């Protein structure tokens, strides 16, 4: 079976975890600090705050943005459910906007229509690694005095207008889940250039503790901590951070290899008139966290039939990006919501295998099986 994805982990990461374990410092210590500093340098941000995953990063971003009960945050429904869940965690209401049918990124015009006096923020998602039009949303947020938060779970290493994702706005949230381009097993990061956010995020991730464990450990004097506000246990371990440091060293190479595979798919499928391929506009640089293929109405078989035939042939796929408003957890919450563009894009697209290193024979097999099933 050709897998849909798998992380690129080598002896380097194994050795790094071994060495870290032997130091005896395995959580929220020197390796976490090193990972944060190197990640900030890589993205161009002033600060980076390591967290347990991207969902916790989104949650804390809501808190430091001052979002709470009675507020509204506009976001796409076509995104992993964690995007909307983070809004609900603080008692606010996610307001779902449509997406662009070609990029699957949130649609600016529809967002503008849904701004109300209760709107406090726009949560932009860089869908499967393809950057959204950040400058356009920054302008919209400035006009209406709104916060802009980036869900960059899939976009580590992607670029917009020549700059890495992570430096364009005040709160950018990343994921290091195994399905992502780089992985720490699980984990997340927030980048920011605002010192006030940086200081508070560090408090919130560790129970609101005024003095962290490492500072107390290294102090030559007795230090007593104070818990200055309600916080959370959202820490990253040093073991994970050691893996992240090694992954970061390889990230540009991993992305270059992923883009080569994406180009192979582009070239193989571009003449098939019943499918639509990803669109990377000028000034946008995708890490191709996933490769999504949309089946047009003239396709000879349905999306689900194609997925089953590929599975029968030994090729794993996944459905297109989910629409949160149609999930059971949102059944009562989303009554009456209709998002035809998002629903169509979700229902008619599939994600096909892409990982590093992907053997040439597997790339060819995916291409050949899709062409064979579509009769092309």
Q: Tell me the CATH number for domain 251-373.
A: 3.90.1150.10
Beta-bridge partner residues of 74 = 95, 122
pLDDT(376) > 80: no
Look over the chain and give the mean of its residue pLDDT values, rounded to a whole number.
96
Q: Give the contacts of 105 (CB within 8 A, at least 6 positions apart).
A: 76, 99, 124, 125, 126, 127, 130, 131, 132, 133
Per-residue pLDDT tens over the stretch 267-297 = 999 999 999 999 999 999 999 999 999 999 9
Q: What is the pLDDT of residue 214?
A: 76
For residue 291, the surrounding DSSP H or E stretch is strand 291-295
DSSP label at 187? -
* Active-site choice (180, 202, 246, 296): 180
Closest-CA residue to 6 (of 335, 250, 356, 373): 356
CA separation for the pair 189, 49 (Å, rounded): 5
3.90.76.10, 2.70.98.10, 3.40.640.10, 2.60.120.260: CATH of 11-249 = 3.40.640.10
| Boundaries of every domain in the chain | 11-249, 251-373
180 is catalytic: yes
CA dist 303 to 11, 179, 268, Å? 39, 22, 19
Q: What is the pLDDT of residue 217?
A: 75
Per-residue pLDDT tens over the stretch 216-263 = 777 778 888 889 999 999 999 999 999 999 999 999 999 999 999 999
Predicted TM-score (pTM) of this structure? 0.96
Per-residue pLDDT tens over the stretch 32-64 = 999 999 999 999 999 999 999 999 999 999 999
Q: Are the CB atoms for 96 and 111 separated by under 8 Å? A: no
Per-residue pLDDT tens over the stretch 312-336 = 999 999 999 999 999 999 998 888 9
């Amino acid at each position: 079976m050709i897998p849909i994805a798998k992380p690129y982990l080598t002896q380097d990461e194994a050795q790094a975890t071994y060495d870290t374990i032997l130091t005896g410092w395995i959580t929220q210590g020197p390796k976490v600090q090193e990972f944060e500093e190197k990640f900030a340098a890589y993205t161009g941000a002033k600060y980076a705050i390591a967290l347990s995953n991207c969902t916790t990063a989104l949650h804390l971003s809501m808190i430091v943005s001052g979002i709470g009960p009675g507020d509204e945050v506009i976001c796409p429904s076509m995104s992993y459910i964690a995007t909307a869940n983070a809004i609900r965690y603080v008692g606010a209401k996610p307001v779902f906007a449509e997406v662009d049918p070609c990029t699957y990124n949130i649609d600016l015009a529809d967002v503008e229509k849904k701004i109300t006096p209760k709107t406090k923020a726009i949560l932009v998602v860089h869908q499967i690694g393809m950057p959204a039009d950040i400058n356009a949303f920054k302008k919209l947020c400035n006009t209406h005095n709104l916060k802009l938060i980036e869900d960059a779970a899939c976009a580590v290493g992607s670029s917009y207008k020549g700059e890495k994702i992570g430096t364009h706005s005040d709160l950018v949230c990343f994921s290091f889940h195994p399905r992502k381009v780089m992985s720490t097993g699980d984990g997340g990061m927030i980048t920011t250039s605002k010192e006030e956010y940086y200081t508070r995020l560090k408090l919130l991730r560790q129970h609101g503790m005024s003095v962290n464990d490492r500072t107390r450990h290294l102090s030559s004097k007795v230090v007593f901590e104070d818990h200055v506000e309600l916080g959370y246990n959202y820490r990253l371990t040093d073991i994970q951070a050691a893996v992240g440091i090694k992954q970061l060293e390889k990230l540009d190479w991993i992305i270059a290899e992923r883009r080569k595979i994406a180009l192979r798919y582009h070239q193989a499928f571009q003449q098939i008139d019943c499918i639509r391929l990803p669109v990377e506009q000028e000034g946008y640089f995708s890490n191709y966290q996933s490769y999504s293929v949309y089946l047009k109405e003239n396709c000879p078989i349905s999306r689900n039939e194609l997925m089953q035939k590929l599975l029968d042939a030994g090729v794993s796929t996944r459905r297109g990006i989910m629409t949160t408003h149609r999930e059971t957890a949102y059944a009562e919450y989303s009554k009456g919501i209709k998002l035809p563009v998002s629903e169509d894009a979700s229902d008619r697209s599939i994600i096909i295998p892409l990982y590093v290193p992907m053997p040439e024979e597997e790339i060819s097999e995916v291409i050949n099986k899709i062409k064979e099933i579509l009769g092309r």
